[in-house]
Amino acid sequence: MHEFSVAKRLFDVALRAALENHAERVSEIRLVIGRLSLVNPDQLAFWFRELSKGTVLEEAKLDIEFEEAEVACPSCGYRGPIGLEDRPEYHLVFPTLRCPSCGSKVKVLRGRDCLIKSMKVLRKK
Amino acid sequence: MREVVTAEEGEVFDIELEESLLEANRRLAEQNRALLDQHGIRAIDVMGSVGSGKTSLISCLVERLKDQYRIAYIAGDLTTTIDADLIARHGIPVVQVNTGKECHLDANLVAKALKRLDLASTDLIFIENVGNLICPAEFPLGSHDRLVVVSITEGPYVVMKHPYIFMEAQVAVINKVDLAEVMGVDVGKLEADIRAVNPSLRTVRTCCRTGEGVEDVIEALGL
Ligand SMILES: Nc1nc2c(ncn2[C@@H]2O[C@H](COP(=O)(O)OP(=O)(O)O)[C@@H](O)[C@H]2O)c(=O)[nH]1
Ligand SMILES: [Mg+2]
Ligand SMILES: [Zn+2]
């Protein structure tokens, strides 16, 4: 859905870094997508491919890693994976901000973002 | 920047970036918030599917609040001005933001809309996001509150299937309760699902056809 705008941002950041580093071409881009982020990796890759055609990013392989969601509870001090709510009658499991240990609302520490971690570039001698 | 391998035809470098792709929007959202705060304006981002009743709810709210606050309305729509025209009938300033094919409003579009409003004579802004239960969650606009409207006609799975937007909101409105019986939807169960996703979310039942529950929305928003 909004993967185009995220892909465009990815393209801009990667291209700027490639130019600043006098890259001949970029061979790999490492991304981290949080489990709570709504970015769909396949759609992101699709739009990135489209945008990068004819640029130094054209052959870059997207190496996507997922970041698990981690939360902290201000009420009881719980810190760990986000809680999951199971509705077996609907065959559905969904994440919840309810603290797995005391039920209060937790704060999300990790797993919400989508970031470009690093990239591998090739530079002519 | 550190060198990793020296290939025959050139050098391969690893460039560390650690840059968030969502950060640019977040920064702009913070700027919007600062601008709003500077003018003492409260802004409310109204999210929800197409047809859930966002415009109807805003219309009810404006009707009840316009003597108390100087209200403005920002309408995010793909291409039409239907909602903007409807709210403009209340005689309040309206800015239409056509998002084209975008599935959500972003902080940059809202920043542009704010430029077109007389902020010095505004107390309260309702921002109607693009009809979508998914994407707006990822793009904060700088509003003080985020309100999500779901309607009975979206069926019993709507909350479970779209938990993320309920994580980002402070108030949830279950609209079209007049249709609950006809649709065979258990409103109590929807409320339980909302609480399951986000225990601190205030949930209000409304029928924007009749205005039932709108006072409770006002209370939930602290207006
Ligand atoms: N039966 C019923 N219809 C409603 C209610 N609220 C809104 N509607 C209708 O639902 C349709 C879509 O409403 P609208 O406010 O335009 O939804 P939006 O797309 O979320 O802005 C309109 O035909 C409204 O008249 C309600 O509480 N009950
Ligand atoms: Mg509308
Ligand atoms: Zn706890």
Q: The complex's ipTM?
A: 0.89
Q: Do B102 and A21 touch (CB under 8 A)?
A: no
Read off the pLDDT band of B1 (50, 70, 90): low
Judge whether B211 lies within some domain: yes
Q: What is the pLDDT of residue A61?
A: 96
Domains of chain A (ranges; CATH) run 2-123 (3.30.2320.80)
Backbone angles phi, psi at B183, to 5 degrees: -85, -10
Judge whether B146 lies within some domain: yes
Q: Do B17 and A10 touch (CB under 8 A)?
A: no
Ligand 1 center–CA B53 separation, angstroms: 4
pLDDT at B6 over 60: no
pLDDT at B95 over 60: yes
Q: Is B142 in the pocket of ligand 1 (CB under 6 A)?
A: no
Ligand 2 center–CA B83 separation, angstroms: 5
The residue nearest atom 13 of ligand 1, judged by CA position, is: B53
Instruction: State both tokens at B31.
Output: 């700027």
Taking the C-alpha atoms of A77, A82, A86 and A87 in order, what is their torsion angle to the nearest 10 degrees? 110
Ligand 3 center–CA B81 separation, angstroms: 46
Return the amino acid letter for A69: A
Which residues contact residue B144 at a Cβ distance below 8 angstroms, ignoring those fewer than 6 apart?
Answer: B33, B36, B42, B43, B44
Judge whether B10 lies within some domain: no
The residue nearest atom 12 of ligand 1, judged by CA position, is: B51
Nearest atom, ligand 1, residue B49 CA: 20
State the total domains in chain B.
1
For the stretch B12-49, pLDDT in tens is 889 999 999 999 999 999 999 999 999 999 999 999 99
Overall pTM > 0.90: yes
What are the start-end ranges of the E strands in chain A? 25-34, 61-67, 70-72, 79-81, 83-87, 92-96, 107-110, 114-124
Judge whether B202 lies within some domain: yes
The residue nearest atom 23 of ligand 1, judged by CA position, is: B51
List the CATH number of the domain containing B62: 3.40.50.300
- Domain of B29 in residue numbering reads as 15-221
Please tell me which residue of chain A has the smallest CA distance to B7.
A122
A79 and chain B in contact, CB less than 8 A: no
- C-alpha span between A20 and A10 (Å, rounded): 15
Q: What is the pLDDT of residue B10?
A: 74
Judge whether B2 lies within some domain: no
Nearest atom, ligand 1, residue B207 CA: 27
